[in-house]
Amino acid sequence: MGLRYAHSTFFAQEEVAMPVHPELLKILVCPDDKDPVEYVQLGKEEWLVCHTCGRRYPVRDDIPVMLIEEGDRYRDEALIRRPQG
Ligand SMILES: [Zn+2]
C-alpha cells in the first residue's frame, strides 16, 4: 500500500511550497495505532513520526511511505511520548 497524491497547480501560486501537503498531513495516521503523525524535516530527509509507537515513516519524492515495515526499520523508542498522568 503506497500513499500517493498528485501535485496540483495549487502549488504554483505559493511562494513556499510545502513538501507535504498540509491537508494530506491531517489525514495521515500511523497504520499500526491509527494515531496522527508529525511531519519532521532533518536536513534533506523528511519523516512522519508517530509519537505513540516511535515509528518513523520516510517521505520519498514527496510521497509518504506509510508502511508498518518501513516504520519498523527507522523506529526510535526515544520518540515515544507517553501520555501524561
Ligand atoms: Zn504508531
Domain extent, residue 44, equals 9-79
Within-domain flag for 70: yes
| Coil/strand/helix, residue 59 | strand
Within-domain flag for 84: no
The pLDDT of residue 3 is 56
pLDDT in tens, 40-81: 999 999 999 999 999 999 999 888 999 999 999 999 999 999
More confident residue, 8 or 81: 81
Please, what is the average pLDDT of the chain? 83
CATH number at residue 49: 2.20.25.10
Within-domain flag for 85: no
The pLDDT of residue 23 is 83
- How many Å apart are CA 39 and CA 25, to the nearest integer? 8
Q: How many domains does the chain have?
A: 1
Cell numbers describing residue 31: 497504520
Within-domain flag for 1: no
- How far is ligand 1, taken at its centre, from the CA of residue 52, in Å? 5
- The number of C-alpha atoms within 13 Å of 36 and in the hemisphere containing its C-beta is 9
Within-domain flag for 2: no
Within-domain flag for 33: yes
- How far is ligand 1, taken at its centre, from the CA of residue 50, in Å? 5
Give the pLDDT mean for 2-10: 50
